[in-house]
Structure 1
Amino acid sequence: MENHRLLSLTMALLGFLSPCVTTLTPRVSFPVGSPGRHLTRFSSPDVSNTTTLLLSEDGDMLYVGARDAVLALDVSLKEAIVLRSKLDWSPSDKDLEECSMKGKKMADCPNFIRVLQFLNTTHIYACGTFAFSPCCTYINTESLMMSVKPDEGRGRCPYDPYQRNTAIIVDGELYTGTVADYRGNRPVISRHLSEGRRVDLKLDDTLGWLEDPTFISSSFIPDEEKIYFFFSEVGREYDFIDKFIVSRVSQICMSDVGGQRTLQRRWTTFAKAQLLCQADNELPYNVIQDIDSLPPVDGAPADDTLFYGIFTSQWSVNSGQSAVCSFRLSDIKSVFSGNYKVLNRDTLQWSTRVQEKVANPGECGLHNASDNALRFVKENFLADDSVRPVGRSLTMVSTEHNYSHLTVQRVQAANNRDYTVLFLLTESGYLNKVVLLQSGAHIIEEIQVFEKPQPVKSLKLSIPKGMIYVGTSEGVVRVPTANCSFYWTCAQCVLSRDPFCGWDPASRACVETSSTQTSLGQDIDRGNVEEACFTLTHRARFGPNNLPAGELVSVSLNEVVRLQCPAASRLSRQLWERPNSRLSSDLYLHLEDGSLSFVATPATLGHYLCLSTENGYQQTMAIYHVKQKSSPVPQTPTSYSRPQSPPIPTTRADRPGVHTSVDPKRTETRQTETEPTPTSGDTRVTTRQLGRNFTTLWTVGSGQKEAELRDGEPLLSSRGPSYLKELVIVSVLLVLCLSLLITMFLYVARQRCRSRTAPQSGTPSRDSDRRTPVEQEALRGNQFMSKRNGQALHSGQASGLVCNGALTGSNGHLPNTPI
């Protein structure tokens, strides 16, 4: 109990010591179906769970392991993925019935293909769960037909389709990490398909070499002749807490053939060590999710091989965060060549006491060692030290996404420098493209691959073809690694900081980098537009000229105007400017989406510029000229300062709607702009009259065109909430309610007045009885004259009240009539 409390306190203190994680925002985001990011999809109504991918060496054929089927997809075409052949491989009705009788759900009883590896140039070795009775077979790559009858796959493929496994074939032999029993309680790392004097090997089951592992990946290092397995398991060396998860790397030698007496048909070279994805004074990210290897550059030793992995944490302090760590092969080898922990046979507890080495665990060639040496390596297989990440720091941390899979690539930029690019797949269906810089990770873009979260996913990278294949439960999606044509200007191409892309001054386009093009505009490390673009476009070519007239917005005085400002990217910041005027907070409202709102007055008419600022570079995104609709006094054209020094053009001639940028750093000579001529179709203004002297204006039309790109993709901007529509609706309802109440009040007053003053038919009133005949005759004459002359007396002109045509005084009698 004390140990538990001490651990909780330690974790809490480490949580407070952890520095604030910098939020990583993707510069550009592409939703599903966006024309700015072309994706190719394959799906079929009779195919599902296409999650196991195998890519041919030339990258033209993709083999897919699905539910009850193996597919051969032709991916050589640019615009489509074509199904070339399909192998149906499903359990019989009897197999399904037996699976159901074992207490399994029928949805889990089909044959889910979990192993798909090239055996040689003509055949594929495939294994499936096959109704919780794993089976394996050989498949011809040309005909996609089985060469032999399927045989048992126990120890090669998991029983449960939801259990993770790993498999790799080297020199015709299959190395797997999976479970070897129906209940999943016997994890095993084994070798199969051995021939001649070589025998199949597996781990010894007596000492618990694996503790409830989750296998992630396996990798072959040719120079070492070793296979490395990556997995997570329960760390029994941390006995002061239950179910403490640790990430592991283990190794076995390909030359291992087992011991002669001790460890017969068992590994003699198995060793494992902890992968510690942790920065100083921070909690560790202890659960590995995926890992991929990055081979060294040409001419570098194999020890420079890097392994990039995704890690999450089981601690609530880091809940919802994902970290990426990289490990160097030389560091892994150093840990395996060091000291090992000692396992007590009686208590099964680990200790770190120093002991004399009888043999070096993990060393190749121990199959001829003595029984004493083999017993030593059998009990001492856990390295004492942990493998630390490169630089003892995290490669990147994301607080917004839970990453599940990754693949890594080294890209040579235009300056001949190598940059590491990560492709990270999130659980919510986004693929993040990240470049690793000295200043930290930079997310170039995020691509929504699928809308609904998928249960099982996999990534396969084709470097020669420049494609990434994502396997989901609903189909296969192909994503190009480069998207250079999306960046329509030199500034946008440079600001993307994409090693795949550079600005070609000859074609005036953002193109993919290659070894033949060395004069491309590119700045991956700093993203400096002025150095990369001004030098290439020769500033002297662009002489001073007038500012574009911009979009004409016709308004009436006292109208509410809202001017939209598209954002160049999610990392940009929008600013508004007026020539020779300051945007006072008393008159102008800057909204969250970057737009500007104000009331149209003589002081607010004129030109408005929307500027986008990113990484120290400014460009004009929109220009508006707000003008009164019809004013008896002509408006004086508004002058705007134009720099004499040549600006950077941010649009090509074939991209209408995107204005030329202005360099904000140079403000010398100002020129007067002529009044723009409005044309039909330039703008559509919607005006609505509400009550007295209250008009709202919403500018649309060509202002939206400012946000369009050449391919129809709108520029991205963060949309904030707008309550103008709600305000208008509430105001209308309020006016209607007040009008109804006033009408009802007047009607009731009129009825009461009529009932008080109207004469009763057939019955003379008391007043008429008191009047003399002369008075009655005079009253009738007065009424006759009033009707004849068409006079109408109002309450504001006399002290009486007009009710139903009768005139009464304040005392209820006729005026000038004696009481």
Structure 2
Amino acid sequence: MVHSASLCACLSLLSVLSCHSHVLPRLSFPTGSPGRSLSIFTNPDVYNTTTLLLSNDEGTLFIGARDSVLSVDVSQTDAMTMKEKLDWSPSEKDLADCAMKGKMKMDCHNFVRVLQELNSTHMYACGTFAFSPRCIYINSKTFSMATGPSGKPEEGRGRCPYDPYQKNTAITVDGELYTGTVADYRGTRPVISRHLSEGSHIDLKLDDTLGWLEDPTFISSTYVPSEEKVYFFFSETGKEYDFIDKFTVSRVAQVCTSDVGGQRTLQKRWTTFAKAQLLCQAEQELPYNILQDIVSLSPPEGTSEDETLFYGIFTSQWQVNLGRSAVCAFSLKDIKKVFNGHYKVLNRDTLKWSTRVQEQMANPGECGLHNASDNTLRFVKDNFLADKSVRPANQGLTLVSPDKSYSNIAAQRVRGARGRDYTLLYLLTESGYLHKAVLLKNGVHIIEEIQVFHQPQPVKNLLLSVSKGAVLVGSSEGVISVPVSNCSYYWSCAECVLARDPFCGWDPVMKLCTDIHAHDHLVQDVDEGNVSVQCTYMTPRSRSVQSRTLSSEVVSVSLNEVVHLQCPGASHLAKRHWERLNSQLSPKIYIQSDDGGLSFVATPSTLGHYLCQSVENGYTQTLVAYNVKQKSSPTVPPATLNRPHSTPSTETGIKTPVLTTRPITPEQTEPTPKPDEVDPTVTPKDSPAATTRRSRNFTRLLGMEKEDSRMTEPGENLQQADTPSYFQELVVVSVLLALCISALLTIAFNRFRHLCPSKTVPQTPSSRRDVEKSGSATPQERESLRGNSPCLEKRNGQAPNGQSHNGQAHNGKSPITLSNSMLNSSNGHLPNTPI
């Protein structure tokens, strides 16, 4: 029973993996591709532009870089220009002190890691500042440093990490700063704290001695106004799983913005801190337990804030899922339900976690506990880990990338042409590609991928500007703006519908694919992508790609030349195939490569028209058409034509006869037939005209004027025009060969008998080697065996029928050659005999 259960689990895992493997981007746009325009902001004096902040009107982008803070104009979607630059560099003494601590000079710069808007007039920035974090105020109007309450730059400990490679998160709520970072030089004291408190609020942090955090990696934070809570997302070591050493789990933690700490117990400490596990796991699979990035998506208008979704990217520490990424969605409703449930309790003596069995004195994580009794606060201090885990909203994985590791994510909701809302995800891979995916009822459709980085970047930031319609990506190379829509790229109704992009729809009046918000009554089918239904009333020119492929591209080739035909890919989801009119492409003749190309040898039967077609989502369209023709030349030079054996063709149903070698005199030459005369696709293959045209082509290649004049015209008996079969040729050649060999043996026997009259028994010249080895061979016999006898000399200089052959033959052999049409002639002469 155990073995069968394990086997079922393995089969289920394989089936899940196979289902995930088909999620591929439909289109790919490499860097510099003309089909996808990008805006890039770079400056030779600016480095590590990784911290991004948009102004309220989203017309200005503030960038936290290395040793500086920038103000960039992004009001135009196709350009980014720097407005101002604020220098914030460590002094030489600060750099020297950092080097004395054993740090590399490159890491001792000031890397801005916190950039938040405090109010309408000021921003707040914190940087690593040579491993001595500092924070400053920035006047948003003049873009200059402002004096804080202390009159000098503030210490950034607990607000910004020391190490520029240490991850952190920060968010401002009503002018107060909530951060998740480390509070010491070595990075061993993680802390979630509040700073810049105003009014009755005081700065708060976690109790370092309680083990509320276990070596966390902070990812993100968000504020939910209806709950008056700040949620922190991070990964840490799960101490509750004591049977696995250093098992990483993903967490969501909460604190209330109204918390002011306890009066005696938990003074200046959080009284509302609670955390729970985020479980991104499919059934019968190992969990994706390491959180990489997470973003919140507000609910649709008119719905409860409980419908807020959090989309997170997860990876796995297990070898079976190595190199894979998963996207899971968690709802605020499920998170609240887990925090309102039971909690685990930590035994301080054994450091073991167990489900709480004692009486519940309070609900951990509930706001307003700062006025509670000391017993209640001690209870919530020991009971901060929720017993249940938060599972995905749809009870499964939203997306699994089989071969891409995602690092950052952004999400937005878009209303389509039919009034339905769609969720779009923007996923940044570690290899530097941005994936644009739409979530559908039956799965995920990745619309496109855009390469934004030449080289993978270790630190990135992804920011979405909804009003400007752009995704902003920050890296060490600069900031790249990617438009969220690319409707003009789709040049037909079919392509516009197959893209399944909620931003794009086909305009039947203007005959173009345009933004869905610019026009009404556009054609769109995001859910199904059914072209035959959506584009039925369009003209053929609008519904297909005939406007591009109606005219065939002429390819001129020589016979026996290897032809390579290329087929452009319509999309990664389409399957390409080649076709010829009224014929099938035999795999014995044609080779179709993985990139869609077609290769074959040019013969009279393979000349003609070729169509490359693609099938996507049940719709077939022609991508390219070729007309393969034979190269035309004015005359055929008086030389020997060597034609190889042809291969039977499935397109024409005939075989090209074997053409043997014969000399062609200048009087017999004719102009090379035109390509259309050897094109088997011009007329039906079984018609008399087609048979006549093929026969004429063959006879013209052989230079038989007389035979050409005797060819059968349309309407006459076609039996005489048919070329002889291979069996007839074999019989004739075999008979002639036998006669020649008999004549040679007879002449040789008589010659040796005349030279050696004393011999009673003539010797048969079976082998030159045997005679030469014997000592009794006469000089005349040796000369005869070497081919120097008068008889052999006469044969080498004369054709078998007695006619001269230009005084020589090929390699000393008799040029006995035959032609199919010559064997079928009625003139009564032997081959090569002038008429």
Which TM-score band applies after superposition, normalised by the shorter structure? 0.7 to 0.9
Distance in 1 between the 2:256 and 2:572 partners?
49
The corresponding residue for 2:370 is: 367
Cα displacement (A) at 1:571:
1.3
Cα gap change, 1:238/1:549 in structure 2, threshold over 3 Å: closer, same or farther?
A: closer
Residue 236 of structure 1: CA displacement? 0.5
Cα pair distance change 1:15/1:91, threshold 3 Å: farther
Contact 1:15 1:317 in 2 (8 A): no
- Measured at CA, do residues 398 and 576 of structure 1 come closer, stay the same or move farther in structure 2, by a change above 3 Å? same
- 1:98 and 2:97 correspond: yes
Aligned counterpart, 1:55: 54
Deviations 1:12-45 (A, max 9, x none): 9966652324222111101111111111111111
Q: What residue identity is the alignment partner of 1:20? A: L
Superposition deviation, residue 383 in structure 1: 0.2
What corresponds to 2:555 in structure 1? 553
Deviation, structure 1 residue 303: 0.3
Equivalent pairs, count:
641
CA contact (8 A) 1:607 1:638 kept: no
1:318-717 equivalent positions in 2, closer than 5 A: 318-514=321-517, 517-537=519-539, 548-630=550-632, 631-632=672-673, 635=677
Instruction: Point out where structure 2 has 5 or more consecutive residues left out of the alignment.
Output: 633-671, 690-792, 799-835
Q: Give the partner amino acid of 2:530.
A: N
After superposition, the C-alpha distances for 1:80-129 in whole angstroms (9 at most, x for unaligned) are 21110011001111111111111211111111000000000111100001
Q: Deviations over 1:572-605 (max 9, x none)?
A: 1111111122222222222222122222222222
**Do the aligned residues in 1 keep the contact of 2:204 with 2:268 (CA within 8 Å)?**
yes
SS of equivalent to 2:413: strand
Per the alignment, residue 203 of structure 1 pairs with 206
**Residue type at the aligned position of 1:59:** E
CA contact (8 A) 1:494 1:523 kept: yes
Please state how far the C-alpha of 1:373 moved relative to its aligned partner: 0.4
Q: Distance in 2 between matches of 1:217 and 1:531?
A: 44
**1:49-198 pair list within 5 angstroms:** 49-148=48-147, 149-198=152-201
Matched AA of 1:162: Y
Distance in 1 of aligned mates of 2:26 and 2:229: 40
Offset of residue 641 of structure 1: 12
**Worse overlay, 18-27 or 358-367:** 18-27
Q: Residue 215 of structure 1 corresponds to which residue in structure 2?
A: 218
Aligned to 1:292: 295
Query: In structure 2, what residue type is equivalent to 1:617?
Result: Y
Q: 2:204 aligns to what SS in structure 1?
A: coil
CA distance in 1, matches of 2:537, 2:368: 61
Secondary structure in 2 aligned to 1:390?
coil
Deviation, 1:455, is 1.6
User: Is residue 77–residue 483 contact of structure 2 (8 Å, CA) maintained in 1?
Assistant: no
Whole-Å Cα distance in 2 between the matches of residues 271 and 229 of structure 1? 10
1:487 Cα shift? 0.8
SS at match of 2:537: helix
SS of equivalent to 1:598:
strand
Residue 649 of structure 1 is matched in structure 2 by none
Contact 1:14 1:283 survives alignment (8 Å): no
Q: TM-score, normalised by structure 1?
A: 0.75
Does structure 2 retain, via aligned residues, the 8 Å contact 1:505–1:537? no
The whole-number CA distance in structure 1 between the counterparts of 2:575 and 2:404 is 23
Per-residue deviation, 1:55: 0.5
After superposing the two structures, state which structure 1 stretch, 219-228 or 581-590, moved more.
581-590
Judge conservation of contact 2:134–2:154 (CA < 8 Å) in 1.
Answer: yes
Residues 549 and 359 (structure 1), Cα distance of their counterparts in 2 relative to 1, 3 Å cut: closer
Q: Is the 8 A contact 1:575 1:610 kept in 2?
A: yes
Preserved contact between residue 521 and residue 536 of structure 1 (Cα < 8 Å): no
Deviations 1:753-805, CA, capped at 9 Å, x for gaps: xxxxxxxxxxxxxxxxxxxxxxxxxxxxxxxxxxxxxxxx899459xxxxxxx
1:391 aligned counterpart, secondary structure: coil
How many angstroms apart in 2 are the aligned matches of 1:15 and 1:459? 37
Following superposition of structure 1 onto structure 2, how do residues 751-766 of structure 1 map, counting pairs within 5 Å? none
Residue 146 of structure 2 aligns to a residue whose secondary structure is: coil
> Helix, strand or coil: the match of 2:209?
coil
Q: Residue 481 and residue 541 in structure 1: after superposition, are their counterparts in 2 closer, same or farther (change >3 A)? A: closer
After TM superposition, give the deviation of residue 77 of structure 1 in Å.
2.4
1:276 to 2:279 alignment: yes
Secondary structure at the residue paired with 1:534? coil
Question: C-alpha separation between the residues in 2 aligned to 1:592 and 1:434?
Answer: 26
The structural deviation recorded for 1:558 is 2.1
Q: Report the Cα offset of residue 547 of structure 1.
A: 9.5
Amino acid at match of 1:385: K
Give the distance between the partners of 2:291 and 2:257, measured in 1 at CA. 25
Query: Structure 2 length normalisation: TM-score?
Result: 0.74
Question: In the alignment, is residue 232 of structure 1 matched against residue 235 of structure 2?
Answer: yes
Q: Please identify the structure whose Cα radius of gyration is greater.
A: 2
> Quick check: 2:492–2:513 contact (8 Å CA) kept in 1?
yes
Distance 1:106 1:13, change over 3 A: farther
- Aligned to 2:388, what secondary structure does the other structure show? strand
Q: Does 1:20 pair with 2:17?
A: yes
Distance, in Å, in 1 between the alignment partners of 2:81 and 2:426 is 25
In the aligned structure 2, how far is the partner of 1:532 from the partner of 1:437?
Answer: 18
Distance 1:70 1:396, change over 3 A: same
Q: d(CA) in 2 for partners of 1:552 and 1:50?
A: 51
* Percent of paired sites with the same residue: 65
Q: Which moved more, 1:544-553 or 1:252-261?
A: 544-553
Taking a change above 3 Å as real, the CA distance of residues 354 and 195 of structure 1, as seen in their structure-2 partners, is: same
Give the corresponding residue for 2:36.
37
Q: Deviations over 1:357-403 (max 9, x none)?
A: 01110000001111000000000000000000012100010011100
Structure 1 residues 285, 640: closer, same or farther in 2, change over 3 A?
farther
Task: Decide which moves more: 96-105 or 463-472.
Answer: 96-105
Alpha carbons of structure 1 residues 546 and 290: separation in structure 2 relative to 1, 3 Å: closer
Quick check: 1:125–1:138 contact (8 Å CA) kept in 2? Answer: yes
Q: Which amino acid aligns with 1:338?
A: G
C-alpha distance in structure 1 between counterparts of 2:336 and 2:311, whole Å: 16
Letter in 1 for 2:114: V
Give the corresponding residue for 1:815: none
Listed as ranges, the gaps of 5+ residues in structure 1 are 1-5, 643-671, 673-792, 799-819
Distance 1:92 1:546, change over 3 A: closer
Task: Choose 337-346 or 605-614, whichever is displaced more.
Answer: 605-614
Secondary structure of the structure 1 residue equivalent to 2:145: coil
Question: Is the 8 Å Cα contact of residues 309 and 329 (structure 2) preserved in structure 1?
Answer: yes
Residue 546 to residue 422, structure 1, CA distance change in 2 (3 Å): closer
In the TM superposition, residue 78 of structure 1 has moved relative to its aligned partner by: 3.5
Equivalent position of 1:717 in the other structure:
none
Q: Match of 1:355, SS? A: coil
C-alpha distance 179-14 of structure 1, shift in aligned 2 (>3 A): farther
